[in-house]
Amino acid sequence: MTALDRVARRWGRLIVGFPPYVWLLIFFLVPFLIVIKISLSQAVMGIPPYTPLLEWGEGAVLTIRIALGSFGTLFSDELYAFAYLNSLRLAAIATFCCLLLGYPAAYAIARSSHSVRNLLLLLVALPFWTSFLIRVYAWIGILKTEGLLNGLLLWLGIIDTPLQILETDLAVLIGMVYSYLPFMVLPLFATLEKMDLSLLEAAADLGCRPFQAFISVTLPLSLPGIVAGSLLVFIPAVGEFVIPDLLGGPDTLMIGKILWAEFFDNRDWPVASAVAVAMLILLVVPVMVFQRLQGRATEGTR
């Protein structure tokens, strides 16, 4: 390889790898910094509806004004704490349900024959071909008092009066499990499919019954998939806005809805921004710690 090749290769790599980072920088990091900036200001009437962070005063004095009032609001009004906790609770339950439903599905797909496997994977991905909004909207038709589900249960004689499912936390849970299930199934499938089946034969050979072999071999080896799938479900579920807005009721407190209300109804940009920043910190820190521990535990399993 000549020196020219080396230079070309290095530049080639930079050129290929650069655009995604530039994209993230411009459209994620910069806006996020702006959100942090807004969260540190005070709400005012006007355009924009918040005080500036930096100000040039008389005699070339640079004034930096950091207002922590918005974050204070988060602690003083317990509405926010409730909303955070409820978001975490619903997201955790939804993640757990996705895992319970998704693991057997992923296992079955990973162990199916090659021709069937592609079809099954296609079916998992099929819902993405319709708009997310429309699919969630369709659940209203299923869950409402005179909807399909209640109609079926009444017809079967299981219930006498229609159940109130729509506008409850349960409806939100159903919607989230439905929407996020593919995000659990796909990473689980990827790890289960990679697994060397001779390991299960070895376990059987060493005197291990099938269920015990699943517990002591398959499950620990699929941990990376469980973690990846859980994060992919849990993180967006915590900040979910559309599903609680459409399927939840007025008492369904979720942080995504609060954020919306602060921003569009109260027009309090600083508090809305503080809610967003707090949510990110609440999610990112534990996830990072968890992933580091996970990385150490599963070191060398592939």
Partner 1 sequence: MTQTVAQRPTFSPWTDPESVPLIRFEGVSKRFGDFVAVDQVDLSIHAGEFFSLLGASGCGKTTLLRMLAGFETPTSGRIFIDGTDVSAIPPYERPVNMMFQSYALFPHMTVEQNVAFGLKQDGLPKAQIREKVRDVLDLVQMSRFGGRKPHQLSGGQRQRVALARCLAKEPKVLLLDEPLAALDRQLRERTQLELVGIQERVGITFVMVTHDQGEAMTMSSRIAVMNSGCLEQVGTPVEIYEYPGTRFVADFIGAANMFEGVVASDSDDLLVVTCPELESDLTISHGGSVPVGAPVTVMVRPEKMVVQRDRPSEGMNGVKGIVADIAYLGDVSIYHISLPSGRRVEVLRTNLRHTGEQELTWEDEVHLAWHPANAMVLTR
Candidates 17, 220, 249, 286; binder of partner 1 (CB under 8 A) is: 220
Q: Do the Cβ atoms of 101 and 268 come closer than 8 Å?
A: no
Residue 202 lies near partner 1 (rule: CB under 8 A): yes
283: nearest Cα among 149, 116, 95, 126: 95
Residue 285 CB contacts under 8 Å (≥ 6 apart), including other chains: none
Residue 227 lies near partner 1 (rule: CB under 8 A): no
Candidates 217, 226, 231, 278; binder of partner 1 (CB under 8 A) is: 217
Residue 198 lies near partner 1 (rule: CB under 8 A): yes
Strand, coil or helix: 208: coil
User: Minimum distance between the CB of residue 63 and partner 1, rounded to whole angstroms?
Assistant: 58
User: Minimum distance between the CB of residue 226 and partner 1, rounded to whole angstroms?
Assistant: 13
- Residue whose CB is less far from partner 1, 36 or 208: 208
Alpha helix stretches (DSSP H) within the chain = 3-24, 30-39, 69-76, 78-111, 114-125, 132-143, 148-156, 169-194, 198-205, 210-213, 219-221, 223-238, 242-247, 255-260, 269-297
Candidates 14, 15, 47, 206; binder of partner 1 (CB under 8 A) is: 206
Residue 194 lies near partner 1 (rule: CB under 8 A): no
Angle between helices 78-111 and 223-238 (to 10 degrees): 140
User: Minimum distance between the CB of residue 287 and partner 1, rounded to whole angstroms?
Assistant: 22
Residue 196 lies near partner 1 (rule: CB under 8 A): yes
User: Minimum distance between the CB of residue 221 and partner 1, rounded to whole angstroms?
Assistant: 6
Residue 296: count other Cβ atoms within 10 Å of its Cβ: 8
- Residue whose CB is less far from partner 1, 4 or 206: 206
- Residue whose CB is less far from partner 1, 79 or 116: 116
User: Minimum distance between the CB of residue 196 and partner 1, rounded to whole angstroms?
Assistant: 7
Q: Cα–chain-centroid distance for residue 35?
A: 20
Residue 203 lies near partner 1 (rule: CB under 8 A): yes
Q: Do the Cβ atoms of 244 and 256 come closer than 8 Å?
A: yes
Tokens linked to 23: 């994209």
Residue 154 lies near partner 1 (rule: CB under 8 A): no
Q: Do the Cβ atoms of 103 and 274 come closer than 8 Å?
A: no
Chain residues in the site for partner 1 (CB under 8 A)? 196, 198-199, 201-209, 212, 216-217, 220-221, 298-302
